[in-house]
Amino acid sequence: QDQLQQKIICPGPVTCLTASPNGLYILAGVAESIYLWEVSNGNLLAILNRHYQDLTCLCFTDDSSHFLSGAKDCLALVWNLYNVLQAEPSQIPDPRHVWSRHSLPITDLCCGFGGPLARAATASLDQTAKLWEVSSGELLLSVLFDVGIMAVTLDLSEYHMFCGGMDGSIFQVDLCAWPVQRDRTFQTERENGKVFKGHRNQVTCLSVSTDGSLLLSGSHDETVRLWDIQSKQCLKTMNHKGPVTNAFIVLAPANMLNPDGKPSVPLPKFSKHLHGTESSDEPGTEGVTLRLGLRQQEPGQSYLEKAERMYSQMYSTREKNLVGDQEHLTIQVSELEEEVSNLRKINKDLFNFSARIITKPAK
């Protein structure tokens, strides 16, 4: 029996949710805002308000360094996670890129491999799917379809882009087709061999297997279908009791089939208030204080006193090491004495020069 590990109450209905590939952060779209939590302690690290309408999709790059957000305001934003984490709580960091080439709400996002050098795909109700370069923000490709696009994904080699339409069709776009055109029109009649047909309602999600041979699709027709990409044949249909909103292929965890397998680290309770503000001072949210040499410290010591004591200990250790080599110590002392003598001479010359200038009679 599946047991609920943690129930997290959010400030409003969550329209989209994603986790960073490294497992450290959680992103959630609540109305027009992006909420960023740290998984290990549940701290709410940032609330980003740069969209003007409700969020529809979120995704991370494969190295967790950037994330993308799409909303009903027709904008797709690229965020640098480091800049978001370093920003002050009172400031809203600027996104790295603002993609505003869509004319209707963004419905889906997909990011390829390569970290900040990856390519990202966006889908929209304006009947287009666009391919972008994350590093420069440049638009690489725009494909126009006959219907609004609800889902988009890339295969692992990024040879193909798969787009799910509102009519239930799934389109396969060749990214390496010749001649290279930035603006293309997908004509279903001419490219009949590149369309997956079977869903009776809008396609909401797409996912490609790691070997690039299988395509998984979910739809509002209450089914999930598994397709063979090469032949475009439906291999399996899984029925559900309601519209399918999300489905994706993942590598099976090592202990998935182990009946005794349990989460090694329990999820903490996620904070409702921004970390670092007064309202977030709740019991149990304090950071971990690491003390060095706890038994040697006296109660009531200030930070400067502790730092000075540590420095004196380090310096005494260095002196003990120098005593081990008496000859080297003698040479170093003589060099220091000579430097002090030179500094005294320079100081004396500067003093005499200044005195002559000050006491020089005016003409």
State whether 313 and 239 are in the same domain.
no
| Alpha carbon distance 250, 226 (integer Å) | 14
Residue in the structure block whose two tokens are 């969209």: 51
State whether 58 and 168 are in the same domain.
yes
- Pick the last residue of a domain from 251, 267, 295: 251
Residue in the structure block whose two tokens are 């967790």: 64
Q: Give the CATH number for residue 222.
A: 2.130.10.10
pLDDT confidence of residue 179: 77
| Alpha carbon distance 148, 128 (integer Å) | 7
Edge-to-edge strand ranges of the sheet holding 119-124: 106-111, 119-124, 128-133, 139-144, 183-185
Distance in angstroms between the alpha carbons of the first and the last residue of the chain:
102
Structure tokens at 329: 């110590």
Structure tokens at 12: 């409003």
| Tens-place pLDDT, residues 38-65 | 998 889 999 999 999 999 999 999 999 9
Residue 350 belongs to domain spanning: 252-258+308-355
345: in domain: yes
State whether 320 and 229 are in the same domain.
no
Helices of type H across the chain? 81-86, 303-323, 326-359
36: in domain: yes
| Alpha carbon distance 226, 216 (integer Å) | 5
pLDDT confidence of residue 280: 45
Ranges in the chain, pLDDT < 50: 1, 280-281, 283-285, 288-298, 322
4: in domain: no
pLDDT confidence of residue 267: 78
- Pick the last residue of a domain from 216, 251, 286: 251
Task: Work out how many domains the chain is built from and give that number.
Answer: 2
Q: What Cα–Cα distance (Å) separates residue 92 from each residue in 39, 129, 149, 270?
A: 21, 29, 31, 21
3-state class of 80 per DSSP?
A: strand
Cα torsion angle, 91, 92, 94, 96, sign:
positive
pLDDT confidence of residue 223: 96
pLDDT confidence of residue 352: 86
pLDDT confidence of residue 123: 97
Contacts of 348 (CB under 8 A, 6+ apart): none
